[in-house]
Structure 1
Amino acid sequence: MTKSVNSAFYGSPDLDAWLRGAGISQIVLSGIQTNMCVETTARMGGNLGYDVVVAFDATYTFDLEGPFGWRRSADEVAQASAVSLHGGGFARVVTTKEVVDSAV
């Protein structure tokens, strides 16, 4: 999979077409950056109707500075993404162990 923007759904090959063609309705996401690529792909996947699962401990991000000099640590940024995705209904945020143990 090759992509040039935050979402894996905008890449080559066409991820949505490939998944649908293969009859796949659930995706499990991991990767870098939690608050960029993982979150954007999760939101798009949710909007496209996939059952999206984020293996939170298999993601990573970095400290971030926003407006007004606000700074957040990597942990705070990652947690905010997890809360937004899970609480907003875009994805279920779980641990890698949960993915492996239960075929979520």
Structure 2
Amino acid sequence: MCAETTARTGGDLGYGVFFALDATYTFDGAGPWGGSWARTGWWHEPTAVSLHGGGFAEVVASAELSAAVG
């Protein structure tokens, strides 16, 4: 979640952010009041949609990013 926050902040500050989603990892998490639970794999899709669709970052695969920087 910290990586997503960093990408959002970079986008807000006007930087061109590339976010290698497959190079990130998070942990299972409990929601407020103990009523919901999110498994690790669940986070990737909403993060990708939020960052890419929200204009904060261009979500890419780590292989694409590595190839682009040579």
Interval containing the TM-score (normalised by the shorter chain): 0.7 to 0.9
Give the Cα–Cα distance (whole angstroms) in 1 for the partners of residues 28 and 46 of structure 2.
Answer: 12
- Whether 1:74 aligns to 2:43 is no
59, 79, 85: which one aligns with 2:24:
59
Identity %: 54
Q: How big is the shift at 1:102?
A: 2.7
In structure 2, the partner of 1:38 is 3
Uncovered stretches (5+) of structure 2, i.e. residues with no partner:
none
Calculate the TM-score normalised by the size of structure 2.
0.86
Greater percentage in strand: 1
SS at match of 1:93: strand
Give me the TM-score of the superposition, normalised by structure 1: 0.60
Size of the alignment, in residue pairs? Answer: 68
Question: 1:70, CA displacement in angstroms?
Answer: 1.3
Which structure has more RCO (C-alpha within 8 Å, separation ≥ 6)? Answer: 2
Structure 2 counterpart of 1:88, from 43, 46, 54: 54
Which segments of structure 1 move beyond 6 Å, counting only runs of 4 or more? none
- The Cα of 1:63 is off from its aligned counterpart by 0.9
RMSD of aligned alpha carbons = 1.3
Task: Identify, as 1 or 2, the structure richer in helix.
Answer: 2
1:53 is displaced (CA, Å) by 0.6
Q: Quote the Cα distance in structure 1 between the aligned partners of 2:68 and 2:15.
A: 18
